[in-house]
Structure 1
């Protein structure tokens, strides 16, 4: 995709795209499309308000990039989940990577910035296409696995490394997600920033002992 030469125009296009494709970063969203966005968000662990908050934070990070260095828009991927910003992509210098992280931290409401940006001159159109193919394959696998709540995961792939962020119902579910990723051709590494959901105390009340 060719970005508009005007940074603010680029930002507007990206922001509108994010708003319309609120579920595009999740497996079920990719399958069901834009019309079901609100309904899907309601079923996510973070809820409709959480999804809206994260979309807003992501847009504000993109705004920082557009205002300060619009080339970051083309090289750095931003995924915000539960106010945690996952930055992925490939840049050519350490200064670019540091700038991307610093600008993300400037956004009020961001509680953590996960820096997975690589400094490299490798990569290109073929690698980008392959990474997109890997993400699409994994999204499909998670979507049709009834033992995984796919809507709670977001996926980014860069240079054959799969990055995961979201909420897992259990360690077993997360391992199942990783196994799906391992089975995909060209996947080199899997990096998880997924939070495992805490058990519900109400579902497993502590045992009581009777007095003598």
Structure 2
């Protein structure tokens, strides 16, 4: 019985230490560590069990940085949007007030060090129109296919957002050559008006 109580006590101290470490990360970023409340708390336990505290700490740092970038850019953005970070892959969700807010949210997410991929599932409250939205979706789908089948491009490192025929490329490129190939693919898709590049070259 004494041994069992000692084991429980030691386990409790370990979880308490982990909690303090995560809390420190959140306060260091001058912004809340999580937006999602109770659901995010459950994810934190899963992260710790599956990857260990070091893996969780890395994702927690990324989340804190993006939270801070969003908060500094717009309190409205910070309150409307949410995210999940898993091994450097960032899933963005929530409802933006317009297309510009969605673009800015993705652009800012890519600015955080350690981000490997941004998955944009942010919805817009007021879509411009069914036909325009369908055309933009078709452009993004065509471009995603071209990037995916180009073996010289790491397609998972690029985010694509199309608004009124304007393609916004965001993410990271291993070289200028890779970035140029991605831009050329975007320009070659039918109905593309222009290409706006927010990709960082890290090679």
TM-score range, shorter chain: 0.3 to 0.5
The structure having more radius of gyration, on CA atoms, is 2
Name which structure has the greater RCO, CA cutoff 8 Å, separation 6+.
1
TM-score normalized by the length of structure 1: 0.46
TM-score normalized by the length of structure 2: 0.47
